[in-house]
Structure 1
Amino acid sequence: MTTGGTVAGVLLAAGDSDRFGERDKLLATLDGEPLVRHAARTLAGADIGPVAAVVDPGSSGVRDALAGLDIAVVENYEAAAGQATSVRRGVAWARERADAVVFALGDMPRVHAETVDRVVGAYRDGRESALAAGYEERRGNPVLFDARHFDALAALEGDTGGRGVFEAADDAAVVETGDTGVRVDVDTPGDLDGLR
């Protein structure tokens, strides 16, 4: 396992908003900014290497919401087929640039950049090859995967993320962060109201 190399960040921001209603939830505002911008700023502000956002090319609003941030945009033309397609796109982008990747979710606006740093720090200390941010011993997001898991992530299909890969890793662990945001995502308008 390489622990001294580059860790890239990938923001998964191409999902649908079925439970949110007609609006794209990633563009719903919190504290005056779109949810996706909050999540993107977390990765951009962390002490990691290059960062990319995987977006649905049909959602120009998400791309616009990321303007001005030091984040590459990776289009996922298969976004409608499920989250696995975005994970695959993210891995393909990261594979050429990093020894590990941190995946964050565009609908989790309350994660702190320091939380990403804590997970990455645990990885660089030579601990596990799959690490998830946790709060009160419960697994949350973001999640870091060493390059040894890239092939498994690239093989995912359907509307699933990296959970199965994480659970299959023989050295996966949860890093306690003290950050309640790692367990807070926005699926419905009520979820958003609860953050205001």
Structure 2
Amino acid sequence: MSAVAAIVLAAGRSTRMGAANKLLCPVDGEPMVAHAVAAALASRARPVIVVTGHEADEVEAVLPKGVTVVRNADHASGIASSLRCGLAAVPDEAGAAVVLLGDMPRVGAAAIDTLIALFAEAPRVAAVAPSWQGQPGNPVLLARRLFADVMQLVGDEGARRLFAGRSDVMNVAMDDPAVAIDIDTPEALAGLAANEGR
């Protein structure tokens, strides 16, 4: 099978978190973004590409070795620009990319590898998208055949908008709530800690 890259989106301004950059907020003693990157590095995906933007120096300072860093100078325009930056850095030999969000610290390598394995079994699909109890989830695997369409997205549009009505998108129900837990607010961060303590 062809290689599958990982793209960790870590460029956002995290405006709903208040003054703090959520990606640098500690989760289990490590910056939130470090968990997403560690999961990608522990998976079968290679290379691992991290797209930075807002407070790029600070975010890059906490990244582990072994990643390719791409800075998005246009990060304030929304998530689409970070997707474009990440996809542009995917090497030609990769047939797909798994897109992770830097604010989903509970997603593990197993979820990433599940998407890669499903794609290996069905290489004609354009995307593999997880869900948990009916909620759309992340990360999402994008096959190279979808890259050109994703590169046309603008603003705060993610790739999921392209999935509607397509017969070549594989939707996968996962028994893993982590794929539906992103941390956008101080309350969500506090709730994550509270839930983990139960």
TM range (shorter): over 0.9
Aligned positions, number: 192
d(CA) in 2 for partners of 1:169, 1:103: 19
Aligned partner of residue 9 in structure 1, secondary structure: strand
Instruction: Could you tell me which runs of 5 or more consecutive residues in structure 1 were left unpaired when the two chains were aligned.
Output: none
Offset of residue 25 of structure 1: 0.5
Residues 14-163 of structure 1: matches in 2 within 5 Å?
14-56=11-53, 58-66=55-63, 68-94=64-90, 96-126=92-122, 128-163=125-160
Aligned partner of residue 142 in structure 2, secondary structure: strand
**RMSD of aligned residue pairs (Cα, Å):** 1.4
The one-letter amino acid paired with 2:180 is R
Asked if structure 2 preserves the Cα contact closer than 8 Å seen for 1:56 and 1:77, the reply is: yes
Q: CA offsets, 1:55-102, max 9 Å, x none?
A: 016421110110x33211001000011110000001111153411011
Q: Which runs of 4+ in 1 moved over 4 A?
A: none
Offset of residue 137 of structure 1: 4.0
TM-score normalised per structure 2:
0.92
The one-letter amino acid paired with 1:61 is E
Q: CA offsets, 1:170-194, max 9 Å, x none?
A: 2112223311100000000110011
Q: CA separation of 1:62/1:117 partners in 2, compared to 1, >3 Å: closer, same or farther?
A: same
The one-letter amino acid paired with 1:63 is E
d(CA) in 1 for partners of 2:146, 2:44: 22
The one-letter amino acid paired with 2:150 is L
Instruction: Could you tell me which runs of 5 or more consecutive residues in structure 2 were left unpaired when the two chains were aligned.
Output: 194-198
The one-letter amino acid paired with 1:186 is I
The worse-fitting range, judged by mean Cα deviation, of 143-152 and 53-62 is: 53-62
d(CA) in 2 for partners of 1:101, 1:139: 18
TM-score normalised per structure 1:
0.93
Aligned partner of residue 98 in structure 2, secondary structure: strand
Aligned partner of residue 19 in structure 1, secondary structure: helix
d(CA) in 1 for partners of 2:77, 2:165: 23
Identity across aligned pairs (percent)?
Answer: 38
1:193 to 173, 190, 195: 190
Offset of residue 168 of structure 1: 4.9
Q: 2:196 matched to which residue of 1?
A: none
The one-letter amino acid paired with 1:47 is R
